[in-house]
Structure 1
Amino acid sequence: MRSDPQTGSLGDKKGHALAQAKDSYKWVALSNTTLGVLMASLNANIILISLPAIFRGIKMNPMAPSGATYLLWMLMGYTVVTATLLVSFGRISDIFGRVRLYNLGFAIFTLASVLLFLTPGSGNAGATEIIIFRLLQGVGAGFLFSNSTAILTDAFPPSQRGMAMGLNQIFGIGGSLLGLIVGGLLADLHWRLVFLVSVPVGLAGTFWAYFKLKETGKLTAHEKIDWLGNGTFAVGLTVLLLALTYGIMPYGQAKMGWGSPFVQAGIVIGIIFLAAFIYIELHTKVPMFRLDLFRIRAFAAGNLSLFLSSIARGGLTFMLIIWLQGIWLPLHGYNFEQTPLWAGIYMLPMMIGFFIMGPLSGYLSDRYGARGLASFGMLLSALAFILLTLLPANFSYLPFVVILLIQGFGMGMFAAPNTTAIMNTVPAEQRGVSSGMRSTLQNTGMALSMTLYFTLLIFGMIQHLPVAMYQGLIHVGVPAAVARQTANLPPTGALFAAFLGYNPMASLLPPQVLHSLPAASQQLIVGKIFFPQLIAPAVMSSLRVAFYISAALSFIAAIASYLRGKRTEAVR
């Protein structure tokens, strides 16, 4: 067939149309997966700031003996469920379709958000309902997280994947920081709005994904599901994370639960199941996850550096919130009820740093590779942690802004290049499960980070808070017996009070004792200065240890990132 020099051949026209359609579709995939990741990430942290309003809304006292358990489940349940399901969901998506199960995740997440908004109960029943609906929300988030990067890798050519991952991860990590602001603003209006905000976005995203996303990747529909591998991995990781979570709770007369038979048995059982998972995957014909992918140097180094960085930084936001809400903001005149919102606002520089560096580093990684950018990003994070140890409890804000910007730049330089490098190395038919493994290591690292930070904080409070509280109460005229009893209460109460923006002194002291004190002493005890000054030495001693550990982990992550080797050809 002869071609017209003006119009070209029919084949050329078809090829051009297909190229245009493919180019147009990749932006649809980017925008929809970015919306999904934004929604899932925002909801992971939106509850951090809005918990005081939620507890007030369901008429529950978080400082009651059972309050700590409900608080911990509200904080950790979403992350635990998401972490344990990501690899399984990724593998199932490789078989049945990444887009199909991504769409299902959007629908489940939206349904759970509706249920959270409509939570009918109050008190302990209401808290239980919120926890169950949050777990369901975590299931939906698992489908979104495990498939978004795989869908992007399928849709974009290797030369543009870094840019796409950079934009996607801006809204992923940025969404977790934005959740602090959104949660604070909405919680001030009504606690149910914290959950309602996801509903219109979820409905729009669900229908948009259903009608516009399409399967472009290579699937393994002929393969069977490795039920034994899926089961041992899910049970092992769930039991291990739950045991670590309960390890930071009081047990009997002990201030922490590491001596609990339940915690010790959970750690042992979790490790046994995970070891069984590795054995099964090495000996089954169709494994859930091909462990031999870790023989790919870039894949192994990228995931190792991601895991270490997640342990280093996973609890950072939580610790900064405690520092700001429990100490810095009250010392600067903010009422305890206002501190959750303002804590989010004062942490904005970290989000700004990430928003600036995330897409830029993704673009640069397409041209120059991930090795230098990701490694230098982790070195910047290590520097930021070291600088945080130099700040006093009542710091000047400008140095804090600079440190948060450095941390944001470091996060942005690492996230997109590292993710792109990981996904570029795996076979096309393994992208779903590989994305799930990457997200699992990230979320598991974050859960371990929370446990590490919590343990260090509580241990520091056990060492320092009783003496400081006893001396402080004696100084304002509280009888010695009452002061000793109050000072020996489990430190988790003071820790959670700092996190929730409460001044617990009025509830810790018996009312008859408080009211028997001079008016000036009463005003001092329940005011803005007394409680922050009591907990500051204990909190800061623990935070500095945690920041040193995070700096060391970030430095090791930088070395692991550098060991990924030189730039390799991406798998199309």
Structure 2
Amino acid sequence: MTELTRNKQSRPEEERSSRNAALLVATLVSFLTPFMGSAVNIALPVMGTYFSMNAVLLSWVATAYLLAAAMFLVPFGKIADIHGRKKIFTYGIMIYTFSSFLCGIAPSAVSLILFRVIQGIGSAMIFGTAIAILTSVFAPHERGRVLGINVSAVYIGLSVGPFIGGILTEQLGWRSVFLINVPLGAIIIATVAWKLKGEWAGARGEKLDYLGSLIYGISLLFLTYGLSRLPGFLGATLIGAGVVGIIIFVLYELKVENPVVNMNLFRQNTVFAFSNLAALINYSATFALGFLLSLYLQHIKGYGPQAAGLILVAQPVMMALFSPFAGRLSDRVEPRVVATTGMAITTLGLVILSFIDEETSLFLIVTVLMILGFGFALFSSPNTNAIMGSVVKKYYGVASAMVGTMRLVGQVFSMGVAMLIFALIMGTVQISPEIHVPLVRSIAICFIIFSILCFMGVFASLARGRLRHPPAEVKERSPRQ
């Protein structure tokens, strides 16, 4: 057998090994970050008591992480396209793991929130590259299946997070929720170094748009912090400044030679634009669910963190079970149909929760959580498949970053709505039995708003159009155009 023949035979084996390694690493990291996030949600009431935080400040433990991730995700997606997706992914895991350790030893509420910001930056480097790496190594006809497995890992993390987080919080204290991520992160770092071969950089040689990245990040910061300061004048001013900043960002990106986000992806690609909009609305309407029900179950129903975590597992278990099925289905059926059905089912679940009160039965809550989990499973992986399948290879990093950005911005907005309603109804006071009635009223109002948002998302999902044709090249815009 000649060396040329051996090389020809070894290449498919190397490619298959690289694909399997990419799926393994992306699946592990897709488990780790939501596992930590859902475990932290369960531990929040205990953290609030430990540091004597009011409800609004407590919500910043979750929001600071999300905001930092959202601010840096798109720039890191572009950096990954330029310098290599594996490289940025690896650095992100390292930062995420180290910051988890810092969160676990935080001496104060302020330091905890600061370390959560660093953790969010590490997450941005992960989210901006993981899906792009998968899309780079798997053929289009396999992506729905692979993305379904990836999304399933997310939901397995969400499933075990509340339960394990509740056990850790009750038995070892809230700090253990962060510290357990350190050995998990170390395992992923070792797997990347040992198994993941090759590098992917679809825009090598281009320059990063630093000014556009700065405008984008500051605008998001103003918008989110402004939501937390409403209904005061400062809050309205910051939100206005954030909106103006986003408009300036869009106009600037249309003119710059190497934009951090090619706006023609939205202008010329209906599937890409409306799939991202549907994702933004869906996450805006659903993310605060875990935070709100964690407070409800522990403060109103009197359950401990472990029991509350076990109850909340009902939703992500359904997601984990049905996401692979939904991903495979979207390889054969229009993703628009599958995702829109999921959005409609999610809307139904939120409408039921909008009637929540102090007498709501546990059976009803668990049933609704299962409905929401099934609806979200039908939506998520087909929607991601639609986004990644609507662009060419050059934009995989940016498209992956936009998937993560829509998720994170939606999550930030969802928490922002909860913070705003809490500030309006309860004020900035620590949660105690005296304010249980306004707490329940605040939670119900949040679910009413989320129901309306999700209903609007059904139409955004329908408007995306058909995906079953090859993705078109997006025209570049030079500075002179």
Match of 2:384 among 419, 425, 434: 419
**Alignment-derived partner of residue 92 in structure 1:** 79
Displacement of 1:234 in angstroms is 1.0
The structure 1 residue matched to 2:293, chosen from 320, 323, 344, is 320
The Cα of 1:16 is off from its aligned counterpart by 3.7
CA change 1:101–1:83 in 2 (3 A) is same
Separation in 2, partners of 1:135, 1:390: 35
Question: Which residue matches 1:525?
Answer: none
Q: Which moved more, 1:165-174 or 1:223-232?
A: 165-174
Matches within 5 A, 1:470-481: none
1:210-232 CA distance string (max 9 Å, x none) = 33223454521211111111111
Q: CA deviation at 1:540?
A: 4.3
Q: Could you say which residue in structure 2 is the equivalent of 1:508?
A: none
State how far apart, in whole Å, the 1-side matches of 2:45 and 2:414 are: 23
Q: Aligned pair in 2 of structure 1 residues 154, 79: CA closer, same or farther (>3 Å)?
A: same
8 Å contact from structure 2 (residues 155, 317) kept in 1: no
Aligned equivalent of 1:403: 368
Instruction: For 1:45-444, list aligned pairs within 5 A.
Output: 45-54=38-47, 60-62=51-53, 67=54, 70-119=57-106, 121=107, 126-188=108-170, 189-215=172-198, 217-247=200-230, 258-261=231-234, 263-294=235-266, 295-327=268-300, 329-330=301-302, 334=303, 338=304, 340-444=305-409
Name the CA shift for 1:22/1:451 in 2 (closer, same or farther; >3 Å).
Answer: same
**Alpha-carbon distance change, 195 to 391 in structure 1, aligned in 2, over 3 angstroms:** closer
2:467 corresponds to which residue?
567
The match for 2:428 is: 492
User: Secondary structure, in 3 states, of the residue corresponding to 1:185?
Assistant: helix
Q: CA deviation at 1:415?
A: 0.5
- Structure 1 runs not aligned, ≥5 long: 1-6, 248-257, 462-490, 498-503, 506-530
* Structure 2: segments with no counterpart, 5+ residues: 473-481
Hey, what does 2:475 align to over in structure 1? none
**1:373: how far off?**
0.8
Q: What does 1:513-552 correspond to in 2, within 5 Å?
A: 531=434, 535-536=436-437, 538-552=438-452
Question: With structure 1 as the length reference, what TM-score do the two structures score?
Answer: 0.77
**Would you say the 8 A contact 1:50–1:184 is kept in 2?**
yes
Change in CA separation of 1:551 and 1:52 when aligned onto 2, cut-off 3 Å = closer
**How far is 1:453 from its partner?**
2.8
Give the distance between the partners of 1:71 and 1:457, measured in 2 at CA.
Answer: 11
Q: Amino acid of the residue matched to residue 535 of structure 1?
A: H
Contact kept, 8 Å, 2:166 with 2:306, in 1: the verdict is yes
Please say which of residues 13-22 and 277-286 is displaced more in the overlay.
Answer: 13-22
Contact persistence 1:158–1:571 (CA under 8 A): no
Q: Is the 8 A contact 1:243 1:267 kept in 2?
A: yes
| SS class of match (2:428) | helix
Give the distance between the partners of 1:215 and 1:161, measured in 2 at CA.
19
Instruction: Using structure 2 for the length normalisation, give the TM-score.
Output: 0.91
2: distance between equivalents of 1:456 and 1:230?
Answer: 31
Q: Which residue pairs with 1:254 in the alignment? A: none
The answer (yes or no) to whether the contact 1:217–1:429 under 8 Å persists in 2 is no
* Cα distance in 2, alignment partners of residues 164 and 350 from structure 1: 22
What is the Cα deviation at residue 161 of structure 1? Answer: 0.7
Q: Letter of the aligned partner of 2:74 in structure 1?
A: V
Shift of 1:177: 4.7
Q: How many angstroms apart in 1 are the aligned matches of 2:220 and 2:159? A: 26
Q: Is residue 29 of structure 1 aligned with residue 1 of structure 2? A: no
On the 8 A contact 1:44/1:79 being kept in 2, the answer is no
CA distance in 1, matches of 2:310, 2:226: 34
1:104 maps to a residue whose letter is Y
Residues 402-433 of structure 1: CA distance to partner in whole angstroms, max 9, x if unpaired? 21111000010000010011011112111112
What whole-Å deviation, never above 9, does each CA across 1:327-369 have from its counterpart, x for those lacking one? Answer: 2x23xxx4xxx2x322211112111211111111011111223
- Measure the CA separation in 1 of the matches of 2:338 and 2:464: 12
Q: Is the 8 A contact 2:80 2:201 kept in 1?
A: no
Q: Distance in 2 between matches of 1:492 and 1:342?
A: 27
> What amino acid is aligned across from residue 464 of structure 2 in structure 1?
R
Deviation of 1:36 (Å): 1.4
Per-residue deviation at 1:95?
0.4
Q: Which residue does the alignment assign to 1:474? A: none
Tell me: CA distance 1:51–1:457, structure 2 relative to 1, closer, same or farther (3 Å): closer
